[in-house]
Amino acid sequence: MANQILVHAMTSGDTTTVEALVKHPMDSGFVKDAAGKIIPAHYIEVIEFTHMGKIVLTGYWGPAVSKNPFIKFSFQGGKSGDPIGVSWVDNKGETATTSANIM
């Protein structure tokens, strides 16, 4: 459950819209915990979206992206049933990957 990605893709005409919600703390390294200790930075650095194995978007994220990031974008092409892949790597080298089919 730790590295969860919800992804949802819908096609309408020529355009496929992808929405993704990534479960990640996105700690910026500026916040202190209850004991006054800095919570170390922990954030997604690179996130990649693919359609049929071809990259349709690469995102470079910094600590200023909100916790549990949400992203929405669209691309030309794609039809119902095509797989959309999502994968990310964070600054600690952790990764997660998922995929969903276009509705």
87 in contact with another protein (CB under 8 A):
yes
11 in contact with another protein (CB under 8 A):
no
User: Taking Cα atoms as reference points, which of 18, 26, 40 lies closest to residue 86?
Assistant: 18
- Under a CB-based contact definition with an 8 Å cutoff, are residues 47 and 96 in contact? no
In this chain, which of 38, 40, 62, 79 binds another protein, going by CB under 8 A? 62
Instruction: Tell me how far, at minimum, the Cβ of 68 lies from another protein, in Å.
Output: 5
Query: Please, what is the Cα angle at 28 between 23 and 61, to 5 degrees?
Result: 60
Query: Between residues 67 and 79, which has the closer beta carbon with respect to another protein?
Result: 67
CA dist., res. 84 & res. 5, Å (int): 12
- Under a CB-based contact definition with an 8 Å cutoff, are residues 82 and 76 in contact? no
Residue numbers at the binding site for another protein (CB under 8 A): 1, 6, 8, 15, 19, 21, 23, 28, 30-31, 45-48, 50, 53, 55-77, 83, 85, 87-89, 93, 95, 97-101, 103
